[in-house]
């Protein structure tokens, strides 16, 4: 049985989005970066991002906090959900992330290539959880 495929990339890379729905994994998406909803299980906490940007949190601490959050949540195929609203409190407005869907953030490919983007960390965890991951147009190998 083949693994379901999930694409993980940035909003600028429209040519490498998957054939399914497109979701944000951003803590503070701009209005054009929402897609069809958000995946809160792979979204950094907004206060972490603020602390990082204001210099109250080191990059390594930010990465550690993101990985801690992402690694304890149900991100396996069938367990990962998207939400219409920016609050995951309304479960009725949620649906399963499926084969061919895309998760996007705003970080550049250069930031991702230098391990300075949470989508890269999320992609590795998704692969470990049973997804076939296409990260920025290339299949991720564990």
pLDDT per residue rounded down to tens, the chain (142 residues): 689 999 999 988 767 789 999 999 998 888 888 889 999 999 998 888 889 889 999 999 999 999 999 988 899 999 999 988 655 555 557 889 999 999 999 888 888 889 889 999 999 999 999 999 999 999 998 7
Q: Which two tokens stand for residue 32?
A: 């054009």
CA distance 93 to 115: 32
**Does pTM top 0.85 for this prediction?**
yes
Q: What is the DSSP string of 84-122?
A: SSS-TT-GGGEEE--TT-EEEES--HHHHHTT-SHHHHH
**Number of residues that make up the chain:** 142
| Torsion sign across C-alpha atoms 111, 87, 15, 74 | positive
């Amino acid at each position: 049985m083949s693994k379901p495929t999930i694409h993980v990339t940035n909003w600028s890379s429209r040519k490498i989005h998957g054939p399914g729905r497109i979701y944000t994994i951003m803590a503070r998406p701009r209005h054009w970066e929402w897609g069809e909803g958000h995946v809160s299980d792979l979204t950094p906490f907004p206060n972490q991002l603020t602390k990082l940007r204001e210099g109250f949190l080191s990059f390594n601490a930010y990465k550690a906090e993101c990985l801690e959050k992402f690694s304890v949540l149900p991100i396996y195929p069938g367990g990962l959900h998207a939400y219409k609203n920016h609050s995951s409190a309304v479960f009725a407005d949620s649906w399963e992330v499926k084969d061919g869907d895309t998760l996007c953030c705003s970080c550049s490919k250069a930031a991702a290539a230098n391990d300075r983007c949470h989508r890269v960390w999320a992609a590795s965890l998704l692969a470990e959880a049973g997804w076939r991951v296409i990260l920025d147009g290339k299949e991720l190998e564990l």
